[in-house]
């Protein structure tokens, strides 16, 4: 579709075209022209101009979207009405457009701006697009997760979470857990196939709609967590555990602180063990933890950083911030996996059941006193920004 705007001068006539894909249209509304608009050059030649405005989104720099609008006008009222009706019918035919959403807002996450951002930026956009919403302000940890097990989830086209990674984690665990419960799937069985969740999750302010790989994490046949981006043991887990004591600092705190398949056995001493379902690219790490990791391909990248000097480990971390290959080190190994099992030396000594599994099926990852300023005997798993209590886990 196009809009032609005419600007007349003594020497030339300029025409401006605006093309808007229907999938990017938010709303179409009739536009009332005030006296000031009627007196401008493009309207004054018409005895009684009629207009309608198309509100849409436009891709901007740095993967951002901006709201825009363009006004179409003509002298024929009937023609204007026909265009409005045709466009609205076209929007109704778009099956991917949500009509009713469930919104969870964490008023305390990040810089405590979630509620204000939603009310000032997001709610008016939903209203403009004729999207009905049920809004829940979370009051305690796991409020959203617990609520998703109770609501009539079938009445919604999607769930929107406003907050940090913890808010997204709650919504993800609630939705996937609800799907498994409704389907009679035992989450504590690490070999049980998960039922796919078809309800979309929107993240404010950073989200768009993409399918994701989800890994389930178990310990001794007990379900622990789902992971969609990073599962890190060693350095990243220890940093997270230490940062939990500094939550008052906000985001700045991170700167401080089965089938009959053949299993590959890997033993050694490691500073970091990371599993990523996506590249995990961000402004600080343009290529991410694993540049070749893909969305929704049914696999994850297992990154093993063996024990090395502090200087070499720092070189490895620095390479995540530039264009150099972060895997081009003799002490870094990468595997593309569909499942893996892990136990630390400490777990092997204390948990006989895990030890038996390790000896029979997959061996062990053993790790002595860390070389990177950590003074605890056992490390911690970082699962999408949440700590796990168990070190011995199974991931599928």
Name the residues annotated as catalytic.
Answer: 165
Strands 65-74 and 100-105: unpaired
CB atoms under 10 Å from CB of 8, counted, come to: 10
φ and ψ at 210, to 5 degrees?
Answer: -140, 145
Give dist(CA 73, CA 79) in Å, integer: 10
φ and ψ at 259, to 5 degrees?
Answer: -80, 165
- Among the listed residues 141, 146, 149, the one whose alpha carbon sits nearest the alpha carbon of residue 167: 141
φ and ψ at 327, to 5 degrees?
Answer: -95, 0
Give dist(CA 301, CA 131) in Å, integer: 38
Buried residues in 219-233 as b, exposed as e (16+ CB within 10 A): beeebbbbbbbbbbb
CB atoms under 10 Å from CB of 270, counted, come to: 24
Strands 332-337 and 340-342: unpaired
Give dist(CA 275, CA 238) in Å, integer: 15
Give dist(CA 207, CA 215) in Å, integer: 20
Question: Longest Cα pair distance anywhere in the chain, in angstroms?
Answer: 91
Determine which helix (DSSP H) or strand (DSSP E) holds 178, and give its type and residue range.
helix 165-182
The C-alpha angle with vertex 39 and arms to 34 and 42, in degrees rounded to 5, equals 100
Within 8 A by CB and 6+ apart from 25, the residues are: 54, 55, 56, 87, 91
State in Å, rounded, how far the first CA of the chain is from the last one.
47
């Amino acid at each position: 579709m196009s809009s032609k705007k005419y600007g007349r001068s003594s020497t030339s006539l300029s025409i401006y075209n605006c093309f808007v894909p229907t999938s990017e249209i938010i709303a179409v509304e009739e536009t009332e022209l005030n006296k000031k608009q009627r007196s401008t050059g493009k309207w004054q030649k018409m005895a009684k101009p009629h207009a309608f405005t198309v509100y849409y989104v436009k891709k901007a720099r740095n993967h951002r979207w901006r709201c825009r609008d363009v006004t179409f006008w003509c002298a024929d009222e009937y023609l204007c009405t026909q265009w409005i009706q045709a466009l609205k019918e076209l929007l109704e035919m778009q099956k991917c457009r949500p009509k009713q959403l469930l919104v969870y807002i964490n008023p305390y996450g990040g810089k405590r701006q979630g509620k204000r951002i939603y009310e000032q930026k997001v709610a008016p956009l939903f209203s403009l697009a004729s999207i009905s919403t049920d809004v829940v302000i979370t009051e305690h940890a796991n409020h959203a997760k617990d609520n998703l097990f109770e609501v009539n989830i079938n009445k919604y086209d999607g769930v929107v979470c406003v907050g940090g990674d913890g808010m997204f984690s709650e919504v993800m665990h609630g939705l996937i857990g609800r799907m498994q419960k409704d389907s009679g799937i035992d989450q504590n069985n690490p070999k049980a196939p998960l039922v796919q969740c078809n309800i979309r999750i929107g993240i404010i302010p950073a989200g768009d709609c993409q399918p994701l790989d989800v890994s389930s994490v178990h310990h001794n046949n007990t379900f622990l967590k789902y992971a969609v981006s990073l599962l890190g043991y060693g350095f990243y887990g220890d940093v997270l555990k230490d940062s939990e004591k500094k939550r008052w600092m906000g985001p700045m705190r991170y700167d401080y602180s089965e089938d009959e398949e053949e299993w590959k056995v890997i033993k050694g001493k490691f500073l970091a063990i990371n599993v990523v379902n996506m590249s995990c690219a961000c402004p600080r790490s343009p290529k991410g933890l694993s540049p070749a990791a893909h969305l929704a391909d049914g696999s994850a990248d297992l990154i093993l950083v063996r024990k090395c000097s502090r200087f070499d480990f720092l070189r490895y971390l620095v390479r995540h911030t530039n264009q150099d290959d972060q895997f081009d080190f003799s002490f870094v190994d990468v595997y593309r996996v569909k499942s893996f099992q892990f136990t630390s030396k400490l777990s092997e000594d204390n948990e006989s059941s895990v030890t038996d599994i390790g000896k029979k099926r997959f061996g062990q990852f053993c790790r002595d006193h860390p070389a990177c300023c950590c003074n605890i005997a056992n490390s911690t798993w970082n699962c999408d920004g949440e700590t796990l209590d168990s070190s011995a886990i199974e991931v599928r």
